């Protein structure tokens, strides 16, 4: 049975998730303990939550958003960006 091919694809996908997780885990010291929007508790020990919550970094400020708020936040962020245009941006180009 060609089980190996299936496993390789799964491994590749898992690696991408791992990379993303590693990035988030690297910031764990700075991560807030709850959603920056609704205050929902963020469980750092839950891989599912770590994988689905969104982390935003602006300067020294790290914010996290639960999946529920993130959908709405993307709209708000657009508006906020327009409002905070004077703020310092660290864009790498
Ligand atoms: Zn939330």
- Distance from Cα 9 to the centre of ligand 1, integer Å: 33
Say how far apart CA 66 and CA 55 lie, in whole Å.
9
- Distance from Cα 16 to the centre of ligand 1, integer Å: 25
The whole-number pLDDT of residue 57 equals: 83
- Distance from Cα 56 to the centre of ligand 1, integer Å: 13
Neighbouring residues of 14: CB distance < 8 A, sequence distance ≥ 6: none
User: How many CA atoms, within 13 angstroms, populate the side-chain half-sphere of residue 7?
Assistant: 4
- Distance from Cα 74 to the centre of ligand 1, integer Å: 12
- Distance from Cα 89 to the centre of ligand 1, integer Å: 25
pTM of the model: 0.52
pLDDT tens figures, 72-90:
867 766 777 777 665 555 6
Whole-angstrom Cα Rg for the chain: 17
pLDDT tens figures, 16-65:
888 877 777 676 677 889 999 899 999 988 989 988 998 888 887 888 88
């Amino acid at each position: 049975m060609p089980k190996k091919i299936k496993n390789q694809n799964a491994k590749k996908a898992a690696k991408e998730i791992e990379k993303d997780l590693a990035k988030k885990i690297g910031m764990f010291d700075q991560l807030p303990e709850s959603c920056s929007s609704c205050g929902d508790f963020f469980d750092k020990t839950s891989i599912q939550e770590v994988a689905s919550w969104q982390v935003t970094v602006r300067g020294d400020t790290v914010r996290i958003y639960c999946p529920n708020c993130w959908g709405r936040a993307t709209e708000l962020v657009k508006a906020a960006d327009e409002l905070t245009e004077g703020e310092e941006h660290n864009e790498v180009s």
